[in-house]
Chain A
């Protein structure tokens, strides 16, 4: 996995790529929590993620919970089919704000 953090439309966007699994999900977790620690509204872009395991999803859950505590915006964008089926299994697709792209999220924010 590699990741990149970009600033787009007022959000910090954490772009994760390739496989997000046990070996690298701690890195993804740190990147997501670091954005939130800086007080930034944060989106996680999963467009380029080929596989995400439960530890990766747990990092997203922790990010969302942290954002709520800090009253920051949080969400997922570009969720691939494979990632979506993992989220659906634990019914997390009903929990996360999910949009097709950063632009779609910004539009939804109004």
Chain B
């Protein structure tokens, strides 16, 4: 891939306490690319996402977003970078005390000095983009699960970010709504040339939207490749994931006993 990198992660190592979570992750996303990060529970995919968002400091390694190493960036530099980043969290993370339109407008209020009317129009335009036109005056509690995800996406793109991060877009949605969200993600990339990182464990969604897929397992990257490369992979762990086979772990008796007894 020759396109300039929007995201470059090198040698990322991170711990929660003494537990190693990411173990030397190298990761690159080209500008305008849709990268899907896949992996089972506990693979480290959500932790990787949180590092990409600058929410955690790694033990070691570098994370460059749009050319800036966020592990060394100042607060001002991070603030500026965040205006180019949109995030759609799994649960939506909408504020229940505000209307949907006010939620979508929040980043504009925080980061710009646009006229009130302009902010209103931008927020409502984004709601149109995610097919929530006319729902701006409702409260988040009045929306369905799929609508909340779309409202969160509207907020994530309200600043026209260069980087969009999406945590589990399809989780908990019926297949039709999930497919609509997938279409929307592709449309956003095509229309706005966004670089998009999607964390998911939904195979159908991953295969539909991804330019490339990175498969994480126990804190390491098993494979980064195109959809076809992932499908054709002979790696046993990748195939376990694709075929939903439970992993067979070898038990280290000493280690197991230590965990049980705390000794």
Task: Enumerate chain A residues within 8 angstroms of B113, measured Cβ to Cβ.
Answer: 26
Task: Enumerate chain B residues within 8 angstroms of A37, measured Cβ to Cβ.
Answer: none
A58 touches B122 (CB 8 A): yes
One of A69-77, A83-91, A100-108 contacting the partner: A83-91
A29 touches B115 (CB 8 A): yes
* In the complex, chain A residues 45-60 whose Cβ is within 8 Å of any chain B Cβ: 53-55, 57-59
A90 touches B128 (CB 8 A): yes
Report A's interface with B, CB cutoff 8 A.
21-22, 25-26, 29, 53-55, 57-59, 61-62, 85-86, 88-92
With A22-B112, A89-B129 known to touch, is A58 a contact of B118 (CB < 8 Å)? yes
Q: Is B187 at the interface (CB under 8 A from chain A)?
A: yes
With A25-B118, A58-B118, A58-B121 known to touch, is A86 a contact of B126 (CB < 8 Å)? no
With A62-B121, A89-B187 known to touch, is A55 a contact of B126 (CB < 8 Å)? no
A58 to B124, CA, bound (A): 10
A55 touches B128 (CB 8 A): no
| Residue interface bits B96-123, CB-to-A below 8 A is 1, else 0 | 0000000000000000111101110110
Task: Enumerate chain A residues within 8 angstroms of B114, measured Cβ to Cβ.
Answer: 22, 25-26, 55
| Residue interface bits B158-200, CB-to-A below 8 A is 1, else 0 | 1110000000000000000000000000011011100000000
Task: Enumerate chain A residues within 8 angstroms of B112, measured Cβ to Cβ.
Answer: 22, 55
A62 touches B129 (CB 8 A): no
Which 9 interchain pairs have the tightest Cβ spacing?
Answer: A58-B121, A89-B191, A85-B191, A53-B160, A90-B125, A58-B118, A58-B122, A54-B122, A90-B128
A89 to B185, CA, bound (A): 12
Task: Enumerate chain A residues within 8 angstroms of B122, measured Cβ to Cβ.
Answer: 54-55, 57-58
A88 to B192, CA, bound (A): 11
B128 touches A91 (CB 8 A): yes
A54 touches B125 (CB 8 A): yes
Could you pull out 11 A-B pairs where Cβ atoms are within 8 angstroms? A21-B160, A26-B114, A26-B115, A29-B118, A54-B160, A55-B118, A61-B125, A85-B191, A86-B191, A90-B126, A90-B129
Nearest CB of A to B121, in Å? 4
